[in-house]
Amino acid sequence: MADDSTANAFVFADHLVLDESPTREFYRTVLQGLIHKNNNTLGVIQGYSSLILMDDPPKSVVENVEQMKTSSNQASELAKVILTAAGCARVKPEPTSLTDLLPHIEATAREKCQAAGVPLQFQAGENLPLVMADGNRLIELLGELIRNAAEAAAGVSGGEVAIDILPPGEASPAEEKRIDFFIRNSSVDLSPDQIREAFEPFEGNKSNDHYGLGLTTAGVLAGQMNMRLGLRNAEGTTTAWLSLPAAG
């Protein structure tokens, strides 16, 4: 069971729990509208790029247009990620069976670890109770955490990832009725300040192929579903602790 000293070692994403102030809906609407208008412009760029490429232009033109089309597609994808990270995604927590979701979660974890070239250990407790969650968003949240773990482990010699899913009473106190995910990966040493920065939008030390929004997205989705997400680093291991409320 996680005692206070263990819990205190984690840096939690509590600052990403969105408030319910009257202005929240205003800014959500502004952001959604802005991205919608931006996607209209990107759609025009994508459409004309496709038409130009269909006309069999010179090679030098092809390279430039393909780069323009690729950049436009990436910008559209980024817009979708920003909406989720900003708390604009539709989230409907309801009683959800982890037993039904586990095969997909494990398959996703193995796929991401295989892509990163690191081994995975996956263990889940038996007879897990229903949790209050939006199943699709929970899978998205875990996907961000697992991808982050796999890519971090790949940067360490002999790196690996381990996932444990524990029933109430094994990590969180039994009376709290929470199910706990622990996602551990080999890691370089990180200070609490560096872990805290990892939750911030557009922060990160990975390549430009990453938006720097993965852990931000995970933290916001966790807050929207009344889950608690924390990170810690100790002795060459980074651990993500996602605590889910049981249903009922």
Dihedral sign (CA 138, 144, 149, 150)? positive
- The answer to whether residues 163 and 215 belong to one domain is yes
d(CA 235, CA 5): 16
Q: Could you tell me if 105 and 34 lie in one domain?
A: no
Q: Which of 49, 69, 85 is the last residue of a domain?
A: 85
**192 forms bridges with which residues in the sheet?**
none
State the average pLDDT over residues 182-209: 83
For residues 103 and 140, membership in a common domain is answered with yes
- Asked if residue 239 has pLDDT above 50, the reply is yes
Question: What is the tens place of the pLDDT at every residue in 20-38?
Answer: 888 988 988 999 999 999 9
Token pair belonging to 121? 């250990």
Out of 27-31, 81-85, 103-107, the most confident range is 103-107
Lowest mean pLDDT among 49-58, 198-207, 215-224: 198-207
CA 3, distance to chain mean position in Å, is: 26
Share of the chain above pLDDT 90, in %: 67
> Taking each helix axis from N to C terminus, what angle separates 98-116 and 135-154, rounded to the nearest 10 degrees?
30
Q: Are residues 8 and 107 in the same domain?
A: yes
Give yes or no: residues 71 and 34 share one domain. yes
Q: What is the CATH number of the domain that holds 168?
A: 3.30.565.10
**Does residue 207 register a pLDDT over 80?**
no
Q: Rounded mean pLDDT of the chain?
A: 90
How many domains would you assign to the chain? 2
**Last-in-domain residue among 85, 100, 119:** 85
Measure Cα distances from 103 to 109, 122, 124 in Å: 10, 11, 11
Specify whether the CB–CB gap between 163 and 121 falls below 8 A: yes
Residue 124 has pLDDT above 50, yes or no: yes
Residue 59 pLDDT > 90: no
Q: Are residues 45 and 116 in the same domain?
A: no
CA distance 234 to 188: 9
Q: Which residue has the higher pLDDT, 54 or 186?
A: 186
Tell me the pLDDT band of 19, cut-offs 50, 70 and 90.
confident
Do 39 and 98 share a domain, yes or no? no
Q: Please give the average per-residue pLDDT across 74-97, as a whole number.
A: 91
Spatial CB neighbours of 91, under 8 Å, sequence gap ≥ 6 = 134, 137, 221, 224, 225
**Residue 5 pLDDT greater than 70, yes or no:** no
Same domain flag for 205 and 226 = yes
Q: Helices 59-85 and 22-54, interaxial angle, to 10°?
A: 160
**What pLDDT is recorded for position 4?**
40
Higher per-residue confidence, 203 vs 243? 243
**What is the per-residue pLDDT for 2?**
45
pLDDT of residue 209: 58
Could you tell me the residue range of the domain that residue 229 belongs to? 4-18+90-245
pTM here is 0.84
Same domain, 13 and 123: yes
Residues 10 and 27 in one domain: no
The helix/strand count (H/E) of the chain reads as 7, 8
Of 68, 85, 102, the residue at which a domain comes to its end is: 85
What is the rounded average pLDDT of the residues 218-241? Answer: 95
Q: Are residues 230 and 116 in the same domain?
A: yes
Half-sphere exposure at residue 219, Cβ-oriented, CA atoms within 13 angstroms: 23
Question: Do 62 and 108 have their domain in common?
Answer: no
Q: What angle do CA 134, 140, 142 make, to 5 degrees?
A: 100
